[in-house]
């Protein structure tokens, strides 16, 4: 009987420790065995470590938010003043100066994208934000992602087609998964020739739903496919294109946190097919 009660108390203490609700006042040490006393001491230290970790997490969250916020104002000012400078140089007929001002604006946009991507990545890797999969509509996901990328596709006269069952659903975080799918479609637009076509389709299996994003772009060599999801990796073939090599890495991290995965089929010069597998 004593043995069973001791095991039961130890089990309760462990449950509270896992839940982060263990408190010393819950137990009277005078009534505990030597093993229970050591168990209590360990859980108290674990609770303290968890409290410190939570505090550090909040501090980091504040720091990342501050960095993101503090960079927005000067970058917005750079765009504004560069625009004014561009107008002034246009009026004075200084074509070379206009080109320089436009390049400042373009580089500022790249820097803004980089800071935004790094902020999102830092929040993910530091577990500051949670990717919480819930049952969501796949058609809505794809429609939103395509709509976001369409202006870039229109500039290159690229046709974006998507054929998705409007009733299909899977378990994913709508906000973050839109980011992941959008990054892949954006890459397809970036590395596809003008006047080509990008299609997004869906295959539903027993355990997963597969979103297929097929382009007619430059393709990826077989030896490079394992590398493209690396942080900041950029192929030598695309160094002249805008980008920082973080989009696919971010997409993979998001989908992986939803118990999904991404696969790629590609042939150099013949386009690529990215498959995003989401848990049903």
| Whether residue 28 has pLDDT greater than 60 | no
213 bridge partner residues? 200, 274
Q: How far is the C-alpha of 57 from the C-alpha of 263, rounded, in Å?
A: 32
pLDDT of the residue at 273: 92
Q: Which residue has the higher pLDDT, 110 or 199?
A: 199
Rg over alpha carbons for the chain, rounded to the nearest Å, is 26
* pTM check: above 0.85: no
User: Which has more pLDDT, 35 or 228?
Assistant: 228
Query: Where is mean pLDDT largest: 67-71, 85-89, 166-170?
Result: 166-170
**Whether 239 contacts 114, CB under 8 Å:** no
Q: How far is CA 183 from CA 32, 174, 219, in A?
A: 57, 14, 16
Higher pLDDT, 23 or 97: 97
Higher model confidence: residue 109 or residue 185?
185
Q: pLDDT class for 249, splitting at 50, 70, 90?
A: confident
- pLDDT for residue 266: 86
Tens-place pLDDT, residues 50-67: 555 566 556 555 555 666
Lowest average pLDDT, out of 19-28, 111-120, 172-181, 233-242, goes to: 19-28
* pLDDT-derived band at 10, boundaries 50, 70, 90: low
CB atoms within 10 A of CB 56: 11
Q: How confident is the model at residue 270 (pLDDT cuts 50, 70, 90)?
A: confident
Across residues 201-227, what is the average pLDDT? 88
Q: How confident is the model at residue 128 (pLDDT cuts 50, 70, 90)?
A: low
Concatenated DSSP letters of 193-226: -TT-EEEEEEEE-SSEEEEEEE--SS---TTTGG
Q: What is the pLDDT averaged over residues 177-203?
A: 90
Whole-number average pLDDT of the chain: 78
Quick check: 214 pLDDT over 80? yes
Report the C-alpha gap between 101 and 109 in whole angstroms.
13
Per the model's pLDDT, the better-predicted residue between 15 and 33 turns out to be 15
């Amino acid at each position: 009987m004593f043995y069973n009660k001791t095991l039961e108390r130890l089990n309760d203490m462990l449950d509270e420790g896992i839940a982060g609700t263990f408190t010393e006042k819950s137990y009277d040490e005078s009534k505990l065995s030597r093993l229970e006393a050591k168990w209590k001491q360990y859980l108290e230290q674990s609770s303290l470590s968890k409290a410190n970790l939570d505090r550090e997490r909040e501090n980091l969250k504040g720091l990342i938010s501050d960095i993101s916020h503090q960079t927005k104002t000067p970058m917005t000012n750079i765009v504004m003043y560069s625009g004014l400078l561009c107008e002034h140089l246009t009026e004075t007929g200084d074509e070379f100066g206009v080109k320089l001002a436009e390049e400042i604006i373009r580089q500022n946009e790249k820097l803004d994208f980089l800071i935004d991507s790094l902020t999102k990545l830092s929040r993910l890797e530091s577990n500051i934000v949670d990717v919480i999969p819930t049952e969501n509509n796949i058609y809505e996901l794809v429609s939103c992602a395509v709509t976001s990328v369409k202006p870039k596709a229109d500039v290159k006269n690229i046709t974006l087609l998507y054929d998705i069952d409007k009733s299909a659903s899977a378990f994913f975080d709508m906000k973050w998964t839109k980011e992941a799918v959008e990054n892949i479609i954006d890459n397809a637009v970036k590395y596809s020739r003008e006047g080509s076509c990008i299609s997004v389709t869906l295959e539903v299996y027993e355990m997963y739903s597969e979103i297929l994003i097929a382009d007619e772009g430059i393709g990826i060599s077989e030896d490079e496919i394992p590398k493209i999801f690396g942080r900041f990796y950029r192929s030598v073939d695309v160094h002249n294109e805008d980008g920082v090599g973080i989009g696919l890495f971010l997409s993979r991290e998001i989908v992986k946190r939803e118990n999904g995965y991404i696969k790629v089929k590609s042939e150099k010069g013949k386009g690529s097919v990215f498959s995003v597998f989401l848990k049903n």
